[in-house]
């Protein structure tokens, strides 16, 4: 089961991805992971989540810092 912080990070990645009009498939291709992985991360009820390496690569594509996906205070 995903934790509260996992859900927060996934939501922040989705928000930024959508702001830039980047599809799940485009993001997956850019960071060299399967296209279904992003969809599974963003799906409620799935236990997929990003690791720190994913977040670093995603931040490069989404032109932000990996810390932009984290809350200012612990959850």
Tell me what pLDDT residue 3 has: 96
- Once rounded to an integer, what is the mean pLDDT over residues 38-44? 95
Provide DSSP, the chain: ---HHHHHHHHHHHHHHHHTT--HHHHHHHHTS-HHHHHHHHSTT------HHHHHHHHHHTTS-GGGGS-SS--
pLDDT one-digit tens code per residue, 13-35: 999 999 999 999 999 999 999 99
Q: Which domains does the chain have, with CATH numbers?
A: 4-66 (1.10.260.40)
For the entire predicted model, the pTM comes to 0.95
pLDDT one-digit tens code per residue, 51-74: 999 999 999 999 999 999 999 999
Tell me what pLDDT residue 49 has: 97
């Amino acid at each position: 089961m995903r934790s509260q912080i996992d859900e927060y990070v996934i939501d922040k990645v989705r928000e930024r991805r959508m702001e830039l009009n980047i599809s799940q498939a485009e993001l997956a291709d850019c960071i060299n992971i399967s296209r279904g992985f992003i969809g599974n991360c963003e799906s409620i009820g799935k236990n997929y989540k990003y690791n720190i390496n994913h977040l670093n690569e995603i931040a490069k594509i989404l032109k932000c810092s990996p810390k932009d996906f984290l809350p200012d205070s612990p959850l």
